[in-house]
Structure 1
Amino acid sequence: MSALEPARIAPGGFKELGPFGWVAAKIGARGIRRPRFSLTNVIGQHRVLFPIWLPMSLYLLYAGKLSRGDAETVILRVGHLRNCEYELQQHRRLARTRGIGPELQAKIFEGPDADGLTDRQRALITATDEFVVTRGVSEETWVVLARHLTKQQLIEFCMLAAQYDGLAATITTLNVPLDFPD
């Protein structure tokens, strides 16, 4: 599907979202400085699932045990592997505010063998690649990743990679409209 194809479920307004979803969508839109935050305007239409999914998503993105830079490294790599332009568009911007500029983003997209990555970044990218492609992480990669992350961070890495892999699949399947013209 391309970004030019119509959404399978159009972004909703107050009627479709209900009070909670509508408020969450408005806060999200304000956060990304856009009139609408399409992701919340689409998935917010599931009035039971959305309020259950949202707290975990916000925790992983803003308050998790992984640093914000580590989280963005994983999210950008997942978006790249899944060719999810919506996810990439959102997180290229957010990553810049978290210290991951265009040069580092290009290295993340290039992969774990890119020049100039730290050992920690290489471990995160390698583990993300394996997690997304093979649905697991090899023992060799796990040992390297575990040198950089605590037990809680290792658990969170798995949840974060799974969250954004599933989100990329959902966004692509529903053909959620892009929020930015670029």
Structure 2
Amino acid sequence: MSTARIPPGGFKELGPVNWAISKVGARGIRRPRFSLVNVLGRHRLLFLAWLPQSLYLLGAGKLSRRDAEFVILRVGHLRDCEYELQQHRRLARTRGVDAATQAAIFAGPDADGLTERERTLLTATDEFVVTRGVSPQTWQALSRHYTTQQLIEFCLLTAQYDGLAATITTLGVPLDFPD
């Protein structure tokens, strides 16, 4: 990754609340620093507005955590965002997405070993990221597997991680796992 355009902040740049959040996050990923939080947290109020939605989509949404990781990994792959991929390869393993399944996600909807629902989810993710929408045929297929609330969440989750990948890349957020 290129040099950070906005380097991760410390206590002074983050303020006490965002600094405390960054410390809890770093402990959660078992690293001395959580670079994304230490960069985004420099915009103190915007970070606090963004964080609840992000946490909801990641951990408490209507989509299964496994399906959310399918979407996030596919977006990270499509956007070539190594930061997002590093974070979510690890998290996905804890949510039942093993290395073989991750390889299938990266290979795309036609990869061996995927269920019809998983193929549909990856196809919809590809369409959303590449064309900024989902075709009527794919939407109909997606609707056979997900509720109305889950469909809305799919759109917001995909948009969130697509925008996050662009932000991470643009700001040059340093990797937390540089190995």
| TM-score, normalised relative to structure 2 | 0.99
What is the alpha-carbon distance in structure 1 between the residues aligned to residue 163 and residue 133 of structure 2?
14
2:129 aligned to which of 109, 113, 132:
132
Partner of 1:168: 165
% identical aligned pairs? 77
What is the alpha-carbon distance in structure 1 between the residues aligned to residue 25 and residue 118 of structure 2?
29
1:91 aligned to which of 88, 99, 115:
88
> Deviation at 1:6?
1.4
What is the alpha-carbon distance in structure 2 between the residues aligned to residue 22 and residue 30 of structure 1?
12
Partner of 2:9: 12
Partner of 1:181: 178
Gap runs ≥5 in structure 1? none
> Deviation at 1:100?
0.2
CA RMSD for the aligned pairs? 0.5
1:57 aligned to which of 54, 58, 61:
54
1:159 aligned to which of 133, 156, 159:
156
2:104 aligned to which of 96, 103, 107:
107
Dislocated runs of 4+, deviation >6 Å: none
What is the alpha-carbon distance in structure 1 between the residues aligned to residue 3 and residue 127 of structure 2?
32
1:74 aligned to which of 56, 68, 71:
71
Gap runs ≥5 in structure 2? none
